[in-house]
């Protein structure tokens, strides 16, 4: 199954993100919701998931300014 924007509907992309992240309403002090927000461009069909992941990794490695992170993702 392809996860590319051209091959999925918005509903399918929401499900892909939700299943990948896990329980968005979980007990991780809201960090899962921050991760879901990080992938909103993918859900909206604006950017591929691989591009979002590459940008996240590049910021992590380079130390470039990025939104504050908790121990398990972006903070709200």
Q: What is the pLDDT of residues 44-70, one digit of tens each?
A: 999 999 999 898 888 666 555 555 555
pLDDT attached to residue 76: 46
Query: Does pLDDT of 43 surpass 90?
Result: yes
Return d(Cα 70, Cα 9) in angstroms, integer.
31
- At 3, list the tokens: 């996860």
> What pTM does this model have?
0.64
Dihedrals phi, psi of 75, to nearest 5 degrees: -95, 155
pLDDT at 28: 55
Q: What is the mean pLDDT of residues 20-49?
A: 75
Mean pLDDT, residues 12-35 taken together? 71
């Amino acid at each position: 199954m392809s996860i590319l924007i051209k091959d999925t509907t918005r509903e399918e992309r929401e499900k892909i993100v939700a299943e990948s992240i896990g329980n968005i309403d979980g007990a991780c002090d809201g960090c899962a919701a921050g991760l879901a927000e990080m992938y909103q461009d993918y859900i909206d069909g604006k950017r591929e998931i691989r591009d979002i992941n590459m940008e996240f990794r590049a910021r992590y490695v380079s130390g470039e300014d990025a939104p504050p992170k908790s121990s398990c993702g972006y903070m709200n």
